[in-house]
Chains A and B, each alone.
Chain A
């Protein structure tokens, strides 16, 4: 997808206290992002009373735009089965335009209630969680859905691949109940620093320059009151090093759309000045992924 701008736009998820305003601002930012052909948008998890990212993702999917939506999710809030299912649901209803940005915040309360020892075990948590998400996403291939009226066979259970995961923290037996085609499976992102094995995910968020590993997105804030030239330099640096940009707009809601337009225009100009990017796109990943075995 070299015709895409290597940018993830962080949508505004909370205009305090007013859900309709939040939705309106997010819709506008999504439309602008789609027009600029960014690689994806991110719905962040923010402090209450922000809207839940997966719910906002479900709502915004009605726009039918050709932009993948990334749900930010903290491990400390979601049992893996529940998160895997919501993201797979979003992927299914958007024909594969869904992803999750997995953040390390420890073990969730539902898992901890069943396995008290798991809660204290912090090492390698994102790696285990990521592996488990992939297994669940791969567990019910679309081809298993038969719907064979004559033979009275609804699903070919031989094609199911139950997670059968028994790890340090998590135990998940079953297959997910949301089928999906391999080409539509969700994309997985995490912070580079939270991973033991960078190959566990499709893309990383990292402030540092990395030569090896999956495609990286560098968090850069476009602030209304900041020195525009310095922001432009940061953007140029990221692009020169073949990193993508995780773009956050820091502006009042009323001015956010204008600043998003300005930022994306600036990045478009910078990107067209670069030579042909070497960067692989995680949004074209259509195999089960490295850790799915």
Chain B
């Protein structure tokens, strides 16, 4: 159930942003992605999540193993906290949302409409979704945005528990989560943007 990345080049809009990436993420590991804004962390995570195809190289991972959390939390304002979470749970074929509510300290907000949550509370609900997916590999894009110190600790604890249970996490973040983690700085892998894709598919790619 390892995530294996071999000589991967990822592109955004047909322009390569990171190239020759090589790393392996095994069970029980946390890998933190570092790099300045615009360095391609989000593009890398989206490629690994299967939302866009890699430009070159290979991504090896078991099927249905990825839980991806982007900047947007995928919450519906007109649904309550419980309804939002129960929806994602049933989409992923799990039922029990109570542990996730408890772990992200959302129990007291369970019946509140998502529209009435604060930014940090929404973020916590978005992260609680990861817990109900039952997926082993978490790909997290800036998970701690708008969280207070206590919630960051809560989140770090959730990641710690997930990893201790045999999961893995790849986290793009600028802050120190206090987790035992390896750090991957993406800056050395920066691609030369002038090398635009050539050959079959490149023309189409410019339009897609």
A-B interaction: no
B residues lining the A interface (CB < 8 Å): none
Residues of A within 8 A of B (CB): none
